Amino acid sequence: MAKMELAGVMLEVDEHGFMQETNKWNEDIARAYGAKEGINELTEEHWTAINYLRNYYLANGICPMIRRLIKETGFSLKKLYDLFPEGPANSACKWSGVPKATGCV
């Protein structure tokens, strides 16, 4: 298993850098992920999306549908790509500390 140090914590990650132990996540880790992708400051809007994603994942064991994410956060897809350079699945989910989506998605 690959390892990566983020915000001073050694994390188990998959080959794309997604965290494998979601309970080790904290806000600094999200910031560190963002910085790696060139977003040096996480805004209120980032946190809205990250918190929604994370809470949804913790409650349901899976990331929400994009349409639901759009509806619940009020951000358009374009807006989500502006906030998260690699998009909701590859950036937002990763920064939220949840595993990469699999299974025909």
Partner 1 sequence: MTKKHLKLTDISKEGDVQLDEVNIDELIPLPPPYDKNEGLKQLTDDQKVRLVNNLDGFSALALPKPKDKAEENKYIGQFVAGLKKLLSKENNWTFLQPLLLSLDYCARCQTCSDACTVYTASGKKDIYRPTYRTEIFRRLINKYAKSGGKLRAALGAGNIEINWGTISRLYELSYRCTLCRRCAQICPLGVDNALITRELRKLFSQELGWAPKELHEKGTVLQLEVGSPTGMRPAVAIDNIEFLDEDFTESTGIKVATPWDKEGADVLLLHSAGDILSFPASVIAFTVLCNAAGISWTLSSEAPGYDGVNYGLFYDDIQLARIVTKHAQIARKLKVKKIVMGECGHEHKALITVADRLLIGDLNIPRQDAMSFLEDIVFSGKIKFDPSKNNFPVTLHDPCNVVRNLGIVEPQRRILRYLCPQFREMTPHGVDNYCCGGGGGLSVMSDVNFTDWKVNVSGRMKFIQILEAFADQPGPEVGKYLCAPCLNCKLQFKDMFKYYGAREKSGIICGGLAELIVNAMVDVKKPFITWDEE
Q: Which residue's CB is nearer to partner 1, number 30 or number 98?
A: 98
Catalytic residue among 9, 14, 104, 105: 104
> Could you give the 3-state DSSP secondary structure of residue 6?
strand
Q: Which residue's CB is nearer to partner 1, number 43 or number 76?
A: 76
Residues that bind partner 1 (CB under 8 A): 2, 14-16, 60-62, 65-68, 71, 77-78, 101-105
* Cβ proximity of 39 and 78 under 8 Å: no
Task: State the minimum distance, in angstroms, from the CB of residue 88 to partner 1.
Answer: 11
